[in-house]
Structure 1
Amino acid sequence: MISSTVKQLGPDLLVIGTHGRSGIAKMFLGSVAEEVLRSLDVDILTVLPTR
């Protein structure tokens, strides 16, 4: 869904939030933000949640 919207709109920058997972949780659960970073050819700013 994100990739098709980016391709349709053609933004200069995509800003996406992350869950800030690390270690085993990150490895097993995967991450939408990581997939977007790998698959799209657009500048991307990822933002960690505030603690």
Structure 2
Amino acid sequence: MGDPYEEIIDYAETAGVDMIVMGTHGRSGLDRFLLGSVTEKVVRTADAPVLTVRLSGDT
């Protein structure tokens, strides 16, 4: 329970992970602003490096 990005960061710190890997939806501009982005919040606030992977349009 809680904010997803905070839970991800808390888990990463507790588990001592070396890197966080997260997918993106490829949203940009206004869509990203209006919908928010868990990945973006993790990238901006995590102490561990974050690798983002853009999901293909086939999924």
Question: Taking structure 1 as the reference length, what is the TM-score of the superposition?
Answer: 0.89
Aligned twin of 1:7: 13
How many matched pairs? Answer: 51
1:3 Cα deviation after fit: 1.1
- For structure 2, the 5+ residue unaligned runs are 1-6
Q: Distance in 2 between matches of 1:27 and 1:13?
A: 25
Q: Which runs of structure 1 show a deviation greater than 4 angstroms over 4 or more consecutive aligned residues?
A: none
Provide the identity percentage.
43
- Alignment match of 1:38 (pick from 27, 41, 44): 44
Q: Which one scores higher on RCO, CA 8 angstroms, separation ≥ 6?
A: 1
Report the CA distance between 1:13 and its aligned residue: 1.1
Where do 5+ consecutive residues of structure 1 fail to align?
Answer: none
Q: TM-score, normalised by structure 2?
A: 0.78
Cα deviation code 1:1-51 (max 9, x no counterpart): 101101111111110111111121011111000000111111110000112
Determine if the alignment matches structure 1 residue 18 to structure 2 residue 24.
yes
Tell me how large the CA RMSD over aligned residues is. 0.9
